[in-house]
Amino acid sequence: MRALPVAFPKVMISTVASGRERFGSYIVTKDICIIHSVADIQGLNFLTKKILLNGALAISGMVKGKELRDKIKPAG
């Protein structure tokens, strides 16, 4: 993730992102959207499928938002 430029859409789904442990040392940079997986992602079930879909939709929304921002011309 550190190799990607700042403001490039990034989403991380992790079991560690529960808020109970320090998580900052894992990501280092500050422009990553982190989604707590709630359940272990060892196999797919109804819950993990929804969480992975949420991550995919988050990235999709970020990319679509960038496309829209690029179309808007600055005033002046």
Model pLDDT for residues 14-31, shown as the tens digit of each residue: 887 666 666 666 666 678
Q: Where in the chain does DSSP place strands (E)?
A: 11-14, 33-36
Cβ contact 14:37 at 8 Å: yes
For residue 50, the model assigns a pLDDT of 93
**Amino acid 58: pLDDT:** 94
Q: Please check whether residue 20 lies inside any domain of the structure.
A: yes
User: Does the residue 18 lie in any domain?
Assistant: yes
Rounded CA gap, 67 and 71, in Å? 7
pTM: 0.72
Could you tell me if residue 60 is inside a domain?
Answer: yes
Closest C-alpha to 15, from 50, 39, 45: 39
Q: Which domain does 15 fall in, by range?
A: 11-71
